[in-house]
Chains A and B, each alone.
Chain A
Amino acid sequence: MPSGRVGAGMRPRGLLAVRMRPRRPGLTAALVVLGAMVALAAAAPLLTPYEPLATDTSATSLPPGSPGHPLGTDMLGRDLLSRMLHGARTSLAVGITAAAVTVGAGTLIGGLAAVAPRWLDGLIARTADVLLSLPLLVVVLALAAVAGPSTRVVIAGIAVTNWMPVAMVVRAELRSLRERLYVRAAYGLGLTRRQVLWRHLLPGAAPPVAAIAAFEVGHAILTESTLSFLGLGIPPNQPSWGNLLTEAQSHLLTGEWYTVAVPAAAVIVTIVAVNLVANAVGGRSEGRSW
């Protein structure tokens, strides 16, 4: 019996459809969520009267919905809403900065490899090979041992272990574009290498790089939370979603479940939204859809 086939001319649906073309409602929802997150994070000091670090020994462990504390307070009486909003600032900033550094470094190195002499190209490829066999956690462990855990270590760790795919894409795109007729024509018209690179080559490589950049944001947020959980991420007194989760996990069993649930939900929702957007940006690039 033939399985439920989609005719050759018809557009595939479901899983396959997402891979090729986003379902619009999902994308819209994702963009709305992300926009809201960024706006809330940016306006954090205006939205809550509480300092994220200010304790209040007369208002400890309040449940969500308490007067003045919509999300409740933790064991030291710190306002959870304020901590979530300030945490969003840290987490989103780390996500975006790490993605920017990763993509910037990858583009530079990939561009260099594309125009570099053979030996340098080879050296870059081998360096990438070495780094590909080093998982991020291991790199961050080493960096944290050397420099002490910090936001910079988190960003550096993400960049060091993730620039390679960007560089590969940029290098491959530039190499293939270089031989195109219009690029040759540009050289023929007397443009310098730099002008050709900026006006013709890099814009061609932009779409796949943009997709990677978008995924990298979500990935970096995930990484931040994990590293903070292990005590190797954001310094402990700076609220970030990861740090909130870390502090809260010991209360999972002692009644203050919401101190875990709220930041966990924020992390998941943000990453899912970022991935949906990245998926849409990535469009049809085969195999890179995730």
Chain B
Amino acid sequence: MALPLIRRAATALAVVAALSVVCFALLDAAPGDPAASVLEARNGGRPPAAADVARLRADMGLDEPLPVRYARWVSAAVRGDLGTSYLTGRPVTETLAATAPWTALLTAAATLLSAAGAVAVGLVAALTRRAWLRRAIDGLSFVLGGLPGFVAALLLLYVFTAATGLLPSGGVGRPGEPVTPYRLLTHLVLPATALAFGHHFGIYVRLVASGVGRLRDAPHVDNARARGLPRRVVTTRHLMRPGLVPFTARLGVSVGTLLTGAYTTEVVFSWPGMGRQAIDAARGQDYPVLVAVVLVTGLVVVAANLAAELVVAALDPRTRAPGRPSMPTDPHPTPGETAHAR
């Protein structure tokens, strides 16, 4: 298992390198002058004088050739220096360190909630003999499939805060007071729920239901039942473990979906994560911040894919044999799933 892992990791690194080139080149080729944007932001929206722009361009190192700028950026990035925000003049790493953990928390909570929910509901769908229940789950997963994430978020916001006042409407706590785990939880519930039960939830349910359902009547399961193994053991070891393989592979792939879904959720719930930062950066041509967010998101997605492959390998004994393809299922996501914004 070690060798294929190293190979996968090397591929992942290559992808990351390509990612950085693409991001940097793309953003660097952008029209509009960042120096002008900075001056204008400081100047209350008035267009700045050409001489001031030229001076700032030189200060910011924008006049050097592209390869030089890229090389400097990479060498600094490796040392943890992602540059200075054009808009706030603060180190990008500093702002990212303040926002990224919140996005990570929200994404992780939603992933957990989504996965637990999908496994539970999917198992019910696969194993129940009540046709109406299967149909209800079927219908639910279809409707959720058509629900834009921000609409779900607005609905939850309306029901649980505006109409009933049961939960706080946003942020991560009361300003100026310490964030206690309990209070954090009350603030986390709504955004995590909105993110967890959106568009992709139906896909998860289906993957669980079809993965497990396909095995329900498989010979090895019948065999296990015939041997008199307890139902619990049959379900967990012989149905769930292999049956969840496609779902797990997909879970890794859709971390990117959830991560960017979190951006929208963050906007609705005033969650202090990377999302709002990324959107402001895109609007204000704050390239250092934008490149950093793109890079971090890409890194997380690559890491999540890698992790999913490891988990799949652990779940499915076939993939452990050396020389076999490391993925039992198509690792590439289906359309509508790739990495869409919700």
Give chain A residues whose Cβ lies under 8 Å from the Cβ of B216: 3, 5
Q: Is the CB of A165 within 8 A of B333?
A: yes
B134 engages A134 (CB within 8 Å): no
B191 CB to nearest chain A CB (Å) = 15
Residues of A within 8 A of B330 (CB): 168, 287
| A223:B341 contact, CB within 8 angstroms | yes
Residues of A with C-beta under 8 A to B217:
5-6, 8
Interface size class of B (residues with CB under 8 A): 35 or more
The answer, yes or no, to whether A290 is at the interface (CB within 8 Å) is: yes
* Residue in B19, B26, B340 whose beta carbon sits within 8 Å of that of A133 in the complex: B19
Q: Tell me whether B339 and A275 are in contact (CB under 8 A).
A: no
Taking CB atoms and an 8 Å cut-off, the chain A residues in 1-50 that contact chain B are 1-6, 8, 12-16, 18-19
Q: Which residues of A contact B160 (CB under 8 A)?
A: none
Return A19 CB to nearest CB of chain B, in Å: 6
Within the assembled complex, what's the spacing in Å between the Cα atoms of A3 and B27? 56
| Alpha-carbon distance between A12 and B134 when the two chains are bound, in angstroms | 11
Of residues 228 to 277 in B, which have CB atoms within 8 Å of A's CB atoms?
231, 246, 253, 256-257, 259-260, 263-264, 267
Interface 1/0 per residue, A206-223 and B, CB below 8 Å: 000000100110110011
Q: A15-B125, A132-B332, A212-B334 are in contact. Are A230 and B279 (CB under 8 A)?
A: yes
Closest to B291 in A: A142
A90 proximal to B (CB < 8 A) = no
Query: In the assembly, what is the distance between CA of A2 and CA of B229, in Å?
Result: 12
| Those of B204-243 within 8 Å (CB) of chain A | 206-207, 209-210, 213, 216-217, 225, 231
**Smallest Cβ distance from B286 to chain A, in angstroms?**
8
B338 touches A232 (CB 8 A): no
Chain B residues in 8 Å Cβ range of A128: 332
Per-position binary interface string of chain B over residues 36-74, scored 1 when its CB falls under 8 Å from any chain A CB and 0 otherwise: 000000000000000000000000000000000000000
**In the complex, B147 has a CB within 8 A of chain A:** yes
Task: Chain B residues near A272: list those with CB within 8 A.
Answer: 142-143, 145-146
Q: Is the CB of A145 within 8 A of B30?
A: yes
For residue A59, CB closer than 8 A to chain B, the reply is no
Q: Which of B148, B206, B213, B294 contacts A222 (CB 8 A)?
A: B148
Contact check, A3 vs B127: say whether CB atoms are below 8 A apart.
Answer: yes
Query: A155 an interface residue at 8 Å Cβ cutoff?
Result: no
Q: Does A235 contact B (CB under 8 A)?
A: no
Docked CA distance A5–B127 (Å): 8
A196 at the interface (CB under 8 A from B): no
Residues of A within 8 A of B305 (CB): 132-133
Q: Pick the contact of A215 from B14, B135, B158, B335 — CB < 8 Å?
A: B335
Contact A16 B143 (CB under 8 A): no
- Please determine whether B279 and A290 come into contact, CB atoms closer than 8 angstroms: no
Contact A287 B246 (CB under 8 A): yes
CB-CB under 8 A from A223, the residues of chain B are 340-341
A222→B209 contact, CB < 8 A: no
CB atoms of A4 and B340 under 8 A apart: no
Tell me the complex Cα distance, A225–B23, Å: 25
B23, B225, B305, B336 — which one has the most chain A CB atoms within 10 A of its CB? B336
Is A186 located at the chain interface by the 8 A CB criterion?
no
Of the stretches B96-104, B181-189, B295-303, the one at the interface is B295-303
Least CB distance from B221 to A in Å reads: 10
Shortest distance between the CB of A10 and any CB in chain B (Å): 10
Most central of A13, A231, A249, A260 by chain B CB within 10 Å:
A249
Within 8 A of A (CB), among B160-216: 162, 199, 202-203, 206-207, 209-210, 213, 216
Q: Say yes or no: A275 contacts B145, CB within 8 Å.
A: yes
Residues of A264-290 at the interface with B, using a CB-CB cut-off of 8 Å, are 264, 267-272, 275-276, 287-290
Q: How many residues of A contact B (CB 8 A)?
A: 71
Residue of A nearest to B142 (CB): A272
B143 contact set on A, CB distance < 8 A: 268, 272
A14 and B279 contacting across the interface, CB-CB below 8 Å: no
Given contacts A264-B151, A267-B148, contact A219 B23 (CB under 8 A): no
What is the CA–CA distance of A288 and B246 in the complex, to the nearest angstrom? 11
Taking CB atoms, residues of chain A closer than 8 Å to B148 are 222, 225-226, 229, 245, 264, 267-268
Q: Which of B308-342 contact A (CB under 8 A)?
A: 329-330, 332-342
Instruction: Tell me, yes or no, whether A137 is within 8 Å of chain B by CB.
Output: yes
Is the C-beta of A181 less than 8 angstroms from some C-beta in chain B?
Answer: no
A230 touches B267 (CB 8 A): yes
Which residues on B sit within 8 Å (CB–CB) of A268? 143, 146-148, 151
Closest to A158 in B: B340
Q: Tell me, yes or no, whether A138 is within 8 Å of chain B by CB.
A: yes
Contact assessment for B11 and A142 in the assembled complex, using a CB-CB cutoff below 8 Å: no
Q: What chain B residues lie within 8 Å of A13 (beta carbons)?
A: 131, 134
Distance A215 CA – B257 CA, assembled complex (angstroms)? 16
Instruction: For B282, give its contact among A1, A15, A132, A145 (CB under 8 Å).
Output: A145
12 contacts between A and B (CB under 8 A): A3-B127, A132-B305, A133-B298, A141-B293, A142-B290, A147-B31, A162-B338, A166-B335, A218-B146, A264-B151, A269-B146, A271-B146
- A-contacting residues of B (Cβ < 8 Å)? 11, 14-15, 18-19, 22-23, 26-27, 29-31, 125-131, 134-135, 137-138, 141-143, 145-151, 154, 158, 162, 199, 202-203, 206-207, 209-210, 213, 216-217, 225, 231, 246, 253, 256-257, 259-260, 263-264, 267, 278-279, 281-283, 285, 287, 290, 293-294, 297-298, 301-302, 305, 329-330, 332-342
Q: Which residues of A contact B (CB under 8 A)?
A: 1-6, 8, 12-16, 18-19, 102, 126, 128-130, 132-138, 140-142, 144-147, 161-162, 164-166, 168, 212, 215-216, 218-219, 222-223, 225-227, 229-232, 245, 249, 252-253, 260, 264, 267-272, 275-276, 287-290
